Amino acid sequence: MTVTTARADTTSAAALLAHARELCLPVLTEWVGSLPQPLRLMGAYHFGWCDTSGSPVHAHPGKALRPALVFATATACGARAQAAIPAAAAIELVHNFTLIHDDVLDVDRTRRGRATVWSVWGIADAILLGDALHSLAVRVLATDLPGPIAAAAVTRLETAAIEMCRGQSEDCQFETRPRVGIDDYVRMAMGKTGALMGCACALGAFCAGADAETVSAMERFGRELGLAFQFADDLLGIWGNSAVTGKPAGADLARRKQSLPVVAALQSDTSAAVELNRIYRSTTPMAPAMIVRATALIEAADGRVTVQRMAEQRLAAAIEALPDPRTAGELLVLAQLAVQRDR
């Protein structure tokens, strides 16, 4: 089975994600429920457990890929998934803190098909909710993990959080830079996305009692997978089905965001790149027709195929980093899903 032709077992992948959500839910509801109001209501709404008035609903809860990676790594290292529940819940809390802040930074009004927290309660409360979820993640690790490993787990998570902030800062800077290189983008994505996925896999191995070499190898796997995931996410940001992704079609292009397909297209020596550059340098708001034209130009300049190829390369690098692929079946399924997905 080659990387370029392999397809994820969607049944197995869906089952792994569902199981991860099931294992994390009691911890998440307990800790989010411990927040004071209105943070408790906003948190429950963000996770899809209630509507804006607090009435229970069953909205889309998110993919749960990162906690699933925690559990799959722990299993690959010989432990039961239950040993890694606190680490998986903490990773999911940090991930959601970044989503809430990202929505503010990107002025996105929709996530998972619903209004974003900031668009309902305002920017200030959304930022505070994100901060609160970050704090809860640290408390989960410090309270629910065995004492000998709790401090080390917190250090790993907070080191990753700092790297994520660095990556997010660079991503914001890209919006005002006239030209972004592919290497610049990869460095940004490693911080913004790779750091937390690497941390998820490291914590899963850590909770399983793996040795330092195995923990490092699993972190490398997660970091490479994080890049593949981000590259696939950038493709969905342009060509994804808004009915599936839960985000408006063409939102990244409307904002003139320099996502990787745009960066790759602009670096091509083509007439399409020249025209795309004019569109991106213009201050005229991106009308729907212009978004359609920009999409066509990116594809004509090979931005789409270049990023697809880069995602596959990073997926291959992730699999290569695994200490023993024979014991990592769940990780392989999740790795394929990270690249071959529609949301």
**Residues 151, 169: Cα–Cα separation, whole Å:** 27
Q: What is the pLDDT of residue 217?
A: 98
Q: Residue 110 corresponds to which tokens in the numbers above?
A: 């929709």
Q: What is the pLDDT of residue 11?
A: 60
Task: Phi first, then psi: give them for residue 304, nearest 5 degrees.
Answer: -70, -50
Helix runs in 108-211, H state only: 117-121, 123-144, 147-174, 182-189, 195-207
Given a contact cutoff of 8 angstroms between Cβ atoms, the answer to whether 181 and 263 are in contact is: yes
Distance of CA 296 to the CA centre of its chain: 26
Given a contact cutoff of 8 angstroms between Cβ atoms, the answer to whether 261 and 304 are in contact is: yes
Q: What is the pLDDT of residue 1?
A: 30
Q: What is the pLDDT of residue 218?
A: 98
Given a contact cutoff of 8 angstroms between Cβ atoms, the answer to whether 32 and 47 are in contact is: yes
The SS3 assignment for 221 reads helix
| Nearest alpha-carbon partner for 6 in 312, 275, 321, 234 | 312
Q: Tally Cβ neighbours within 10 Å of residue 35.
A: 18
User: Letter for the amino acid at 104?
Assistant: V
| Nearest alpha-carbon partner for 42 in 106, 96, 87 | 96
**Residues 189, 181: Cα–Cα separation, whole Å:** 12
Q: Each residue of 10-36: pLDDT tens digit?
A: 569 999 999 999 999 999 999 999 999
R_g of the chain, CA atoms, integer Å: 20
**Residues 268, 300: Cα–Cα separation, whole Å:** 10
For the segment(s) 10-241+315-339, the CATH number from 1.10.600.10, 3.30.450.20, 3.40.50.620, 3.60.15.10 is: 1.10.600.10
**Residues 330, 10: Cα–Cα separation, whole Å:** 12
Residues of the chain short of pLDDT 50, as ranges, are 1-8
CA angle in degrees (0–180, nearest 5) for 69-49-85 = 30
Q: Each residue of 75-120: pLDDT tens digit?
A: 999 999 999 999 999 999 999 999 999 999 989 999 988 999 999 9
